[in-house]
Structure 1
């Protein structure tokens, strides 16, 4: 049956099940706080990579927790997953962590699902999954801009741009949670320049683009995936009406620095 699922249904199903697995690992009470992140990461990763190799054996695969396979570079379709985005937040039982399951086709983020297992917006107790193939209308924009930033290491460019915009800073955990916050109306801009990898942004970018948001590098260039070097250090996700202004301010800030 899983072979007959659409790619979108498969991505969402995998992200949701991995999220439930992670909750179960945490609630088992068997791991210290120090060991929990690794246990959760590895357990969820084993589920995701085994499932994808079973149901999409011809596709490439890149996971944060799996040894890189250079064969993916010759593939057009490549699944890119992050079993736990926001390991610290997961261990602290916060809601701002995520599971990323996405697909890049010829380097472009075309499909993704981001599970937020700690954020139960549906009231079902199973968390929330946002999908690129099922976009929802964006909430109305507020009068005062809000920018999500790292709760532990806010990027200096983001802080400087927020000051110029008189935007409220909203500290938050994982990249996926920050990107989804813009979709959910909890923020308007997500600006990051502190270093990331392809698995940190690929699925969130696919979902954000499908919801009509601007997604790019902070110099305005496209985000390209399934590269030999998977380091992809910066990211801008925002409502389209803010994109050109934010990109211009980033350029100013970098010149001033």
Structure 2
């Protein structure tokens, strides 16, 4: 199958444990760097400085540890040679920049994912202010379900779709910052599903999707297709990540809403 074949699995774990460990270590260490920056006084734009420092750190470490691999980063110009590369790291050095710039908020993240020949192969999402790093290195079944069906949605631009879903499913909506934070909240049992529509890129979801799938969560795009990575256009505007127990109900609701909208 070609790298863009829709039949290819979204996640096929690399058999090299060093790749999983590297993703985990890079996300975690970049998070430590960001925490240190956050405590420094005098920054007029800490989010921009965080993006820059974290990106420089991750690029330097990948160049040293995986010099033959390509990189797609939110904070760097897109090197189109990645499209011919066998291995591509997809990184978001600071996901949830607004939350990073607000004192006391923990819903920001560092995303590090590895794509190999058509599928995600490793990933890590660090939540530095919460002291947590989730990755494909050490996996476990999802935590118990929340007592009430809960949908995680964008804090700054919640899509109208989530309101329609909540009404249809009698669910509550929990606003949150970073895409990684929302996806890991589903994994940890704070929420039942994370649903997004209205604009994202590959670096926003690659690591969260890899980690979610490695831990047994369900993933799809709103139209039912699988998300694909290392594409010529890195735009990937919608996503749903769901706990297995809620998947059938949520997928049916998404399909019903799509059918209604198409009439």
* TM-score, length basis structure 1: 0.92
Please give the alpha-carbon distance, in whole angstroms, between the structure 2 residues aligned to 1:142 and 1:172.
Answer: 16
Match of 2:74 in 1: 64
Q: Does 1:20 align with 2:32?
A: yes
Q: Which moved more, 1:188-197 or 1:243-252?
A: 243-252
Alignment of 1:16-165 (within 5 A): 16-32=28-44, 35-93=45-103, 94-119=105-130, 127-165=131-169
Please give the alpha-carbon distance, in whole angstroms, between the structure 2 residues aligned to 1:86 and 1:30.
Answer: 21
Task: Structure 2: give runs of 5+ residues left out of the alignment.
Answer: 1-15
RMSD: 1.4
Please give the alpha-carbon distance, in whole angstroms, between the structure 2 residues aligned to 1:5 and 1:111.
Answer: 9
Please give the alpha-carbon distance, in whole angstroms, between the structure 1 residues aligned to 2:191 and 2:17.
Answer: 33
Match of 1:175 in 2: 179
Q: What SS does the corresponding residue of 2:56 show, helix, strand or coil?
A: helix
Match of 1:185 in 2: 189
Contact 1:133 / 1:210 at 8 angstroms: preserved in 2? Answer: no
Please give the alpha-carbon distance, in whole angstroms, between the structure 2 residues aligned to 1:112 and 1:84.
Answer: 15
Q: How many aligned positions are there? A: 245
Q: Which moved more, 1:19-28 or 1:177-186?
A: 19-28
Please give the alpha-carbon distance, in whole angstroms, between the structure 2 residues aligned to 1:254 and 1:220.
Answer: 10
Please give the alpha-carbon distance, in whole angstroms, between the structure 1 residues aligned to 2:118 and 2:76.
Answer: 20
Task: Structure 1: give runs of 5+ residues left out of the alignment.
Answer: 120-126
Please give the alpha-carbon distance, in whole angstroms, between the structure 2 residues aligned to 1:216 and 1:248.
Answer: 12
Q: CA deviation at 1:7?
A: 0.7
Q: CA deviation at 1:59?
A: 1.0
Which structure has the higher relative contact order (CA within 8 Å, separation 6+)? 2
Q: Which moved more, 1:179-188 or 1:143-152?
A: 143-152
Please give the alpha-carbon distance, in whole angstroms, between the structure 1 residues aligned to 2:156 and 2:72.
Answer: 27
